[in-house]
Amino acid sequence: MPPFSCIHGNSRIQKHKSLHFHSSRPANSPPFLNPNLHLQFTQLAHKYGPVYKLWLGSQLSVVISSPSLIKEVVRDHDTIFANHDPSVAGIVATGGLDIVWSPYGKYWRDMRKLFAREMLSNNNLQASYGLRREEVRRVIGDIVNTKIGKPIEIGEFVFRTELNVIMSLLWGGLIDQEERDRLGAEFRVKISKVVDLMGKPNVSDFFPGLARFDFQGVERDMRSILPGLEQIFDSVIDARMKIMTAGDENKDESRKDFLGVLLELKEQEVGKTSSFGLTQIKAILLDMVIGATDTTSTTIEWVLAELLDNPGAMEKAQQELTHVVGMNNIVEESHISKLHYLEAVVKETFRLHPALPLLLPRMPNESRIIGGYTIPKDSKVFLNTWSIYRDPQVWEDPLQFKPDRFLNDDTGKFDYMGNNFEYLPFGSGRRMCPGLILGEKMVMYFVATLLHSFEWRLPEGKRVDLLEQFGIVMRRKTPLFAIPYQRLQSLDLSLSKDCFRLTTGSLLGQPIVLGLCVDGQ
């Protein structure tokens, strides 16, 4: 837990003047921050107002928790606040050569553009739908075959599926299914550890002068995970390079995976002064895997937790699915735009359980006046959206799960585009999430399929708890277990390649497989 001291709310500081900070800590200030940083920042905002500063160790920090002040940061002074403030763990993991932690400038801009163009263009997202579909259907088949009536750890199996989805988008069918499952299991453990370490409050971040001592061993632990991760990346890069060298690559541009694009870029850079090599490629791949897995799987786990806690909302969401998709079909991504109630459920879940409650901390490259107070250059600026989402002055009944508040949003007031500063689940401004369209698809499509295919119940005698655990992604404090029961009597889980049709039913209340036909026979 980081030591902190010396809080100044806007009630105590002079307007239109540079803030003056005490250089020594008052004896009566609390010595430690609560590990649930978002909660403690919110409590402090109640006392000191929507902008206050505090020392986190020797790091001057500013916490902002009102829509109008956040707008000043991410819209009115966007370029000044366009740097994320990298943590020691983030820099050790990526060398600052990824998108998330690289400083605002040409490299960051080029990488972001490349990512948007090659991975997230409408064409490429459409072309990659088959991969998402295949993964989601595979997991539904697995539940039908082996997990009906048994408790499942939701976060774990959703994470595994979303990891497979993103691996497919990044390096396609480079490795066969068996190898992918093996790699996925290994990868999952390592990625979880990396995310934990990135979210862990670290003394080295708060006392940069002491970073070399690595008191909590965060840097040591991160360095111990990296070789294993690198090995995984090396194996897929090797496989892709062999294909490229052999020249038998599928020339269909729309089907090129993101790794192929990055390697081509590396080839073009050879001999030029700017360096774009394997280190950069691995840092960007790591961003994609981290950005796409923990955020989506944590959100899906929260959606199911809220629905299990609100059976009325669960019923309405399933009725909508029955109406839009029907009981003889399986969900397709094309259904998503018609699932208005489910969309409202997901939006309400983002409001109550934002994946990144403080977004990612910003660091101004010049001093700026925000809300009448000077925010010094190089301070660490937290944008506390979590506190806005629970503010009764902004949201009616803010603690209640009420998806209906997002219905009939004809004006687009509650879209994810970062223009409404009361609602920013994907951030806002230059550094807002570039993966939002993919992220939204991954969440909506998987949740819709899970609710359409199965009834979900809690294990006997269990109740849903909604306790949070702060981290770079805010997970549940305890994993959610739920039991699936078959909702559809017949699931056509046809896959694109090894097409199979699975017909199921029930006998004496037990699910049974009625037939399996391979290749349409």
Residue 59 binds ligand HEM (CB under 6 A): no
- Among positions 342-371, residues that touch ligand HEM (CB under 6 A) are 355-356, 359-360
The two three-digit tokens of residue 171, written as one number: 């390096």
Q: How far is the CB of 442 from ligand HEM (least distance, A)?
A: 6
Rounded distance, CA 246 to CA 362, Å? Answer: 45
Residue 426 binds ligand HEM (CB under 6 A): yes
Contact assessment for residue 70 and residue 64, using Cβ atoms and an 8 Å cutoff? yes
Q: How far is the CB of 170 from ligand HEM (least distance, A)?
A: 9
CA 484 to chain centre: 25
For the beta carbon of residue 130, count every other beta carbon within 10 angstroms.
14
123 versus 489: smaller Cβ distance to ligand HEM: 123
Q: Which stretch binds ligand HEM (CB under 6 A): 151-159, 425-433, 486-494, 500-508?
A: 425-433
112 versus 390: smaller Cβ distance to ligand HEM: 112
For the beta carbon of residue 509, count every other beta carbon within 10 angstroms.
7
For the beta carbon of residue 32, count every other beta carbon within 10 angstroms.
11
Strand partners, 32: 3
List the one residue from 65, 124, 296, 486 that touches ligand HEM (CB under 6 A).
Answer: 296
Residue 431 binds ligand HEM (CB under 6 A): yes
The two three-digit tokens of residue 457, written as one number: 């119940």
Q: Which stretch binds ligand HEM (CB under 6 A): 88-96, 216-224, 335-343, 424-432?
A: 424-432
Rounded distance, CA 274 to CA 265, Å? Answer: 12
List the one residue from 19, 148, 263, 443 that touches ligand HEM (CB under 6 A).
Answer: 443
The two three-digit tokens of residue 119, written as one number: 């991975």
Count CA atoms closer than 13 A to 77's CA, side-chain side: 22
Q: Which stretch binds ligand HEM (CB under 6 A): 270-278, 308-316, 433-441, 505-513?
A: 433-441
Per-residue mark of binding to ligand HEM, 99-138 (x: CB under 6 A): xx-----------x--------------------------
Distances from the Cα of 134 to the Cα of 137, 165, 455, angstroms? 5, 9, 22
List the one residue from 345, 433, 474, 493 that touches ligand HEM (CB under 6 A).
Answer: 433
SS3 annotation, 3-23: EEEEEEECCCCCCCCCCCCCC
List the one residue from 92, 438, 488, 493 that touches ligand HEM (CB under 6 A).
Answer: 438
Residue 434 binds ligand HEM (CB under 6 A): yes
63 versus 491: smaller Cβ distance to ligand HEM: 63
3-state helix, strand, coil in the chain (%, to 5): 50, 15, 40
364 versus 425: smaller Cβ distance to ligand HEM: 425
Residue 291 binds ligand HEM (CB under 6 A): yes
Q: How far is the CB of 439 from ligand HEM (least distance, A)?
A: 3
Among 141, 213, 113, smallest CA distance to 430 is for 113
353 versus 402: smaller Cβ distance to ligand HEM: 353
List the one residue from 427, 471, 484, 511 that touches ligand HEM (CB under 6 A).
Answer: 427
Rounded distance, CA 385 to CA 66, Å? Answer: 8
Among 5, 1, 2, smallest CA distance to 53 is for 5
Tell me the residue length of the chain. 521
Residue 388 binds ligand HEM (CB under 6 A): no
Beta strands (DSSP E) in 150-272 are 152-153
Give every strand in the sheet of 454-457, ordered side by side: 152-153, 481-486, 454-457
List the one residue from 8, 38, 71, 84 that touches ligand HEM (CB under 6 A).
Answer: 84
203 versus 292: smaller Cβ distance to ligand HEM: 292
List the one residue from 299, 318, 349, 449 that touches ligand HEM (CB under 6 A).
Answer: 299
Q: How far is the CB of 436 from ligand HEM (least distance, A)?
A: 6
Rounded distance, CA 125 to CA 133, Å? Answer: 12
CA 44 to chain centre: 26
List the one residue from 292, 304, 480, 491 that touches ligand HEM (CB under 6 A).
Answer: 292
Name the DSSP letter for residue 338. G
Q: How far is the CB of 437 from ligand HEM (least distance, A)?
A: 9
Residue 475 binds ligand HEM (CB under 6 A): no
Residue 288 binds ligand HEM (CB under 6 A): yes
The two three-digit tokens of residue 150, written as one number: 């048994």
299 versus 318: smaller Cβ distance to ligand HEM: 299
Q: Which stretch binds ligand HEM (CB under 6 A): 15-23, 217-225, 293-301, 394-402?
A: 293-301
157 versus 350: smaller Cβ distance to ligand HEM: 350
Rounded distance, CA 146 to CA 427, Å? Answer: 39
Residue 172 binds ligand HEM (CB under 6 A): no
Determine the size of the site formed for ligand HEM (CB under 6 A).
27
Count CA atoms closer than 13 A to 9's CA, side-chain side: 12
Q: How far is the CB of 77 from ligand HEM (least distance, A)?
A: 14
Residue 444 binds ligand HEM (CB under 6 A): no
Residue 317 binds ligand HEM (CB under 6 A): no
* Numbers of helices and strands, H then E, in the chain: 16, 14
Rounded distance, CA 454 to CA 445, Å? Answer: 14
Cβ neighbours for 216, distance < 8 A, ≥ 6 positions apart? 200, 202, 203, 204
299 versus 486: smaller Cβ distance to ligand HEM: 299
- Enumerate binding residues for ligand HEM (CB under 6 A): 84, 99-100, 112, 287-288, 291-292, 295-296, 299, 355-356, 359-360, 425-428, 431-435, 438-439, 443
